Chains A and B, each alone.
Chain A
Amino acid sequence: MASVHESLYFNPMMTNGVVHANVFGIKDWVTPYKIAVLVLLNEMGRTGEGAVSLMERRRLNQLLLPLLQGPDITLSKLYKLIEESCPQLANSVQIRIKLMAEGELKDMEQFFDDLSDSFSGTEPEVHKTSVVGLFLRHMILAYSKLSFSQVFKLYTALQQYFQNGEKKSVEDADMELTSREEGERKMEKEELDVSIREEEVSCSGPLSQKQAEFFLSQQASLLKNDETKALTPASLQKELNNLLKFNPDFAEAHYLSYLNNLRVQDVFSSTHSLLHYFDRLILTGAESKSNGEEGYGRSLRYAALNLAALHCRFGHYQQAELALQEAIRIAQESNDHVCLQHCLSWLYVLGQKRSDSYVLLEHSVKKAVHFGLPYLASLGIQSLVQQRAFAGKTANKLMDALKDSDLLHWKHSLSELIDISIAQKTAIWRLYGRSTMALQQAQMLLSMNSLEAVNAGVQQNNTESFAVALCHLAELHAEQGCFAAASEVLKHLKERFPPNSQHAQLWMLCDQKIQFDRAMNDGKYHLADSLVTGITALNSIEGVYRKAIVLQAQNQMSEAHKLLQKLLIHCQKIRNTEMVISVLLSVAELYWRSSSPTIALPVLLQALALSKEYRLQYLASETVLNLAFAQLWRQPLRISMKPRTILQRSTAKSKSEMLFTSRPDSTTPWGRPRRGTDARCSSGSCIRNCPLMGCP
């Protein structure tokens, strides 16, 4: 009746109810694959300087690290890898393994006895503290700890490993030689393999603790930096389940599973994994022992904080706030200022969703600097800059602040934040209507190499900043009418960020906006109308605005007016000045198109005042253009000279040209005031991605 759970094993290491996953500190143990690697190392040491050319040796050395850290691979794969870098060594390794596997147990025993020789002598082949030396010593230690039966088990495993490696070549050669009986046996085996294979397809075998840790950290960093290179969500989950089946105490796997679930927006599983992780973390880690109550309480605080982060990511702001309150309370009780600091940043992120809370943010930055948390500090500065930009602060102050935070980044080599900072600058320049500067910043980011050591081979990461910069680039090109170039950029975006990845929404919105603009310019209103739904799904305010524009173009003036008024009130409430001005311009256009340009004038003047106040030059010039147009409608004879001055500084060049050439009664719309920028670079969401929080 006992409900059977295979992974649960009796653990004799349980003391005081706490299972210590790693009582002996065994992080690694000997497997047949490791023996093969040891043989390779041994061979490398044996062959003198002359035997292997310099190039080959270099290639071998490069090969070694992944071999030492990576998961176990089959013998034939290993041969192939060695062969690629040094054929002759591959041959000798093959012979040695063959001798060992086909010989006797004592060959293996002898091999391990001889291993320690490489440390001895006046000029040892291997340094004790080098990577290889550590590996060798680990292996020797692990081997000497094996019990009698385990040694034999290891040897049979080695034979098995060797035979599996050989099987392929044998199969080709003497298929016909096998007797009937053997053939039958083989059939049985095959049948067995086929039926079992489906379940075991992902079970590449157990990973040792070291290998598992390596796997987890690798995948986690890929998830953060370049999602497309990581395993697909399904296969990653499979690997993790596998890992957890072999060792249910391996808490970190739960965290990765949480991250993985976040990727596919699965709120239930991710909550489950997150809480499971913290339940486990509280107990296993050795630090909880050394730090005593302290380490334990610490993980509790971060547990609550992470829960808040989770809810925030799924848009459950109320729950997030409750969780955050809890984290703050516990952190306060135990005087953990660092944790409090993190909480404060999150408090800002949450507060941002409703009203401006720059006081909070300023405080956060000050505190973060005080406690020496450069990451949080500069993230705070960037958020602050973003907010100030929306609030209409002058550019020089903002750029000064960004420069200061850049200093901080370079000092601590926070490459992620450098990227964000540049993307931020791009956005700010675009907000102010300086397309050249924006272009320059975007190009700078794109032609920069990654600083992170983790993927030294990779030029760049696929982070959010890159997506933002590329989107800006596409929109900038589209604004100047280079639609071909824009679509080229978008194509690149699609390749780099496949549709189901985290940041795909950014380019999707951008793509649809450009298509919409194009359709409007071409006068294909039905096409534009069909795009509105897509835009609304990604950004509701933008969607409503575009809807109004389409309605206006289709001469459904009253509906458009109603929609615009609503939008205006909403945007004034949430202080989205950029949108307010755009809406005002649309309203004005609506007025002068319905032949009442006099009413349009005050609206336009209001828009002008606003855009001047917030220094939104692009919108300002558009407003002036509109103003001129409205006046043209009123007094057709006195064509205002203003447009010419605009011409000199405006990017809306083509529009004013059109204005000059077209008559006021011409039916072609010369393009609607277009919302200039989307400066919403995402430092908010970057706080959310703050890596520190996961690992208290």
Chain B
Amino acid sequence: MLTYQNTYLDDLVDLPNTLDHMLEDLLGSQNFETLGLHSVEGVWPLPQSITSSPERYPLNPQAFYFTYGSQSAAQEGCSVLDEAFKRYFSLIFPDYSSGYGFLRFSVDKPFTVQVSVGRNDCDSYPDEDSSEQYTLSVSAGQAYLKAETVWGALRGLETFSQLVYQEDFGSYYVNKTEIEDFPRFQFRGILLDTSRHYLPVQAILKTLDAMAFSKFNVFHWHIVDDPSFPYQSRTFPDLSAKGAFHPMTHIYTQLDVRRVISYARMRGIRVLPEFDSPGHTQSWGKGQSDLLTPCYSGSTPSGTFGPVNPILPSTYKFMATLFKEVSSVFPDSYIHLGGDEVNFSCWKSNPDVRAFMLKMGFGADFTKLEAYYMENIVNLTAALNRTSIVWQDVFDYHERIPKDTVLHIWKGVPASYEAELRAITKAGYRVLLAAPWYINHISYGQDWRNYYTVQPLNFSGTEEQKKLVIGGEVCMWGEYVDATNLTPRLWPRASAAAERLWSDEKQTSDVDKAFPRLKDFRCELLRYFSFSDNAHGIPITHHRTLFYEVCLTYTDASVSLRLQAGYPGRASLCRTLQTRVPRCLIITDHVTFLSI
């Protein structure tokens, strides 16, 4: 420890320089090589193939550039990549962007990240076939990022940002690295439920940011359900005016929805809307009369309502109009139609429904009625050129659904969802797995381990069958979740599933090896979300970065000022300055600190 004492006013005026001198003292006294313990394994989710060497290159935010390769199909003006360059610059150099960037030791040579894509899909939306493959090669002064699509380039930029680390003294480095990467599964989703609790748009956007950090690519928006209908429809404004928790403050306007979709697009994330019917529709009934089935108690209507009324032509007319709107608002080629948990008791109680059953020859089998309804709805969306996703219930009671429908498995323990995977893929349907990732179910301890050790293809079936598993989804149902607890409940638990869905299973089978990597990744997430404690206005940088601290003590006419600089876990430098200054000198934040 080096200590300086009894220096006077000149030093105080020259505070930044003083700090620099202290840093030089400190720098001179340490062996750099022993400090750079950064490991490339820090990338989460783990790339398919990664080789790196201890050779490393300094990055100076003032001499760091993103450029387009000359052969790249996308060039400057490509909205997705131009925006991404800006975003990732701030993510790579968080301290620089937040005003802590005054610490410069030398002017380094420039470092360029050259991005080349094979297709100019800058203005399109990511879809089910979009390639997310990329290669990344980091060498002296340069990194080459090549991808087929801009979406692949986004994944590569995310990886690059995770490769960069900050030295304990505040300098940035990246190691010589070669990466070839692509996702194991095409569909890697997160479901948010905005019906059981309303989530402010800001909370959704923040989740989209975090999704990009873990390379999730589908936001499954379970936008309406029994409790509320927050989607403001252009065609049927009464649905939210009467069905939302509050018609003004608890709705998603068309503008809100567009904002979510475009924010997601910029991050290579698809927005998959779900309008679940015929069950889970209590809130729909408030704004659309005659849509729901009137329940009967004996021979008179009881005043309560059940699922959507499947026997009225008006129902299908309404649905056709609504889904026409939905398909024009949401650009994704998939629509989620729900179809789960239909309670038959209300249908059974209704004499008109029973008469319809007779007429159609359904007997007393209400699953046939449900199948009849779903078939109609699936055909409606097919006519709109949309692929339907439905919950597994639809397959369980009905095998005549169109072949390109995707089934979504949500029920049960491993044994039962594995059986379901087998059955559905055997029937030739594509399938999406959510059952093991019901992340709203919380428990004490490190439950992320359960999400991590899932083996989505661990069912008996042919290679062809396994190819039908298009991916998985983390579901955050909303009974107990709103903006107050969504983020800490979702992250980093969902990141465990992210690695399972992106990375090679063999390379990531050891949950204990994943633990330290996930721990680091969580700290990175905190840094991105700038979860900082700056309650006292004392400038403190975060995590592995250099810190400096000013401690003031007053006596009547003088102030003693102690400066400390150092880095976590090691010796620090202290310098005490004593001088006569006016009592009103209060150091409130780092800006004042710098301009003393």
Please say whether chains A and B are actual partners in one complex: no
Interface residues of B (CB under 8 A from A): none
